[in-house]
Amino acid sequence: MRHSQKILILDFGSQYTQLIARRIREIKIYSEIHSHLYPIEKIKEERPAAIILSGGPMSVYEDNSPNVSPEIFKLGIPILGICYGLQLISRELGGIVEHAEDREYGKAHLEILADDILFNGVDNGSVIWMSHGDNVTKLPDGFTIKAKTENSPMCVISNHEKKIYGVQFHPEVAHTKFGKKILENFLFDICGCKQDWTPQNFINSTIEEVKQKVGKKKVICALSGGVDSSVAAILMHKAIDGQLVCIHVDHGMMRKNESAAIIKMFNDNYKIRIVNVDASELFLSKLANVSDPEKKRKIIGNTFIEVFETEAKKNSDAEFLVQGTLYPDIIESVAVKGSSVTIKTHHNVGGLPERMNLKLIEPFRELFKDEVRAIGRELGLPEIFIRRHPFPGPGLAVRVLGEITKERLDVLREADDIYISELDNAKIYDKIWQAFAVLLPIQTVGVMGDSRTYENVIALRAVTSTDGMTADWYRFDSDFLENVSNKIISSVRGVNRVVYDISSKPPATIEWE
């Protein structure tokens, strides 16, 4: 999609690069992440409103440290360097960067030395977030020092004439008190950006783009029932209406009554043609006696493609396939040495487009999850679907540890349903990024009534996160956990023990498999 203005973020391997993009989009300005190897010819052609150079784990004076074309500083485009970006600007334009005797990690206080546009509305002495082991020790010609910290004498530098700025700290992280204000000052007062990145603008431009691309051709949409595919289906419906066919495959690993709820929601609220394929028996037969998580994923992925392809072939005149791929799935990521670039792409239905000669439409390939939710709200998708936690493609197959049977799936479905219902009742569901139950491949001794039992263990998981890349376990009130445990054990036949997972990511992942 073409944008009238965009902020180009060049990535040098920082753990915070995605956060820079998110912060800028929250300010309602479109931003896009690319490798630091992004060709200078493309930058000239696209003429972004500004360029932001991210942080990174290396030192600018190391061999093979990631770099940019020196031409970038001659384009007349405003530039903001963050951490490694500041040091790169300094080194490239004739300054000196050296190893710091006192490294700075965590909180520091910003001492403003001179007025600067970047500091409009920013308190002197405010908290900033540092993460560096190098310092600029000699400024490039034409630059002045605007702020320092105890261990960073050149913490903010600027060249107003060339509109090139550098900050040693991370304005994109929540710990930097006036970080958002500093970004706003750069984007509005220095770059002259407008706030035109809104859900309604995205919807309007996408509808126009889809109409032009598709014409009168038929389009198939892979409808899992999650937020991304549901919003994509409604957006496509608005653009091409009767040309759209949604295919929902129930692989038998959905949550309790999930497929029925998805079909009902679409039938009640939208006149969209949906084909519902119940392939649960086929999937279960192929998963019989399989315990290895990777094998489970491959079997489910391959079987899903087979089932979807069979159904899609009934619409042989279709030329396009819609998927809900998100921006984090396709962002170019940089190897630490900056010498190789890998592009990570997740396709919901694997190699299907190539096999069926379908052209892909991925309306959300530029969006983060929270942006898709905002667009769903703008489109009127019921809140119960908008606010749903992420759900893995293989479904409960990766939450039933060990062998998968209908009986074990049903035990998990009931336990999970009680858990999620209680989160809703306690009004804490929306405070959690993802919550779910897991059926463990062990049995333990228990006592029910006067009898000894030897039954299943359910583990509960709940994490807080902004994007799923890192996560922390949610601190439940002990009364809530006691209540949920009692309800699951007393209501779900075959369960006699409930445990709570208090692992963060990293080192653990959010899902157990």
pLDDT tens-digit profile of 30-61? 999 999 999 999 999 999 999 999 998 888 88
The answer on pLDDT for 504 being more than 50 is yes
| Structure confidence at residue 481 as a pLDDT band (50, 70, 90) | very high
Q: Are 232 and 206 in contact (CB under 8 A)?
A: no
- pLDDT value at residue 125: 92
* Average pLDDT over every residue of 100-125: 86
Res. 456: pLDDT tops 60: yes
Q: What is the DSSP letter of 366?
A: T
- Cα angle 412, 415, 416 (rounded to 5 degrees) comes to 80
- H/E run at residue 421: helix 406-425
CA dihedral for 71, 76, 81, 87, sign (positive or negative): positive
Instruction: Report pLDDT for 335.
Output: 36
Q: Among 271, 277, 206, 276, which residue's Cα sits nearest to residue 242?
A: 271
Condensed to tens digits (0 to 9), the pLDDT of residues 207-239 reads 999 999 999 999 999 898 888 999 999 999 999
Q: Does residue 291 register a pLDDT over 70? A: yes
Which residue do the tokens 């905002």 mark?
374
Question: 245 near 318, Cβ under 8 Å?
Answer: yes
Given a cut of 80, whether residue 354 has pLDDT beyond it is: no
Confidence (pLDDT) at 3: 64
Catalytic (active-site) positions: 83, 170, 172
For 88, the token pair is 């790169």
Residue 316 exposed, middle or buried by CB count within 10 Å (0-12, 13-18, 19+): exposed
Looking at residue 351, its pLDDT comes to: 62
Cα–Cα nearest to 382, from 244, 275, 238, 230: 230
C-beta atoms surrounding 10 within 10 Å: 24
Asked whether residue 347 carries a pLDDT value surpassing 80, the answer given is no
Continuous segment of H or E residues that includes residue 293: helix 293-312
CA distances from 213 to 3, 223, 240, 512 (A): 17, 21, 11, 41
Structure tokens at 85: 């970006």
Lowest mean pLDDT among 288-302, 417-431, 490-504: 288-302
Between the alpha carbon of residue 453 and those of residues 34, 444, 492, 494, 500, the distances in Å are 57, 8, 14, 9, 21
Q: How confident is the model at residue 343 (pLDDT cuts 50, 70, 90)?
A: very low
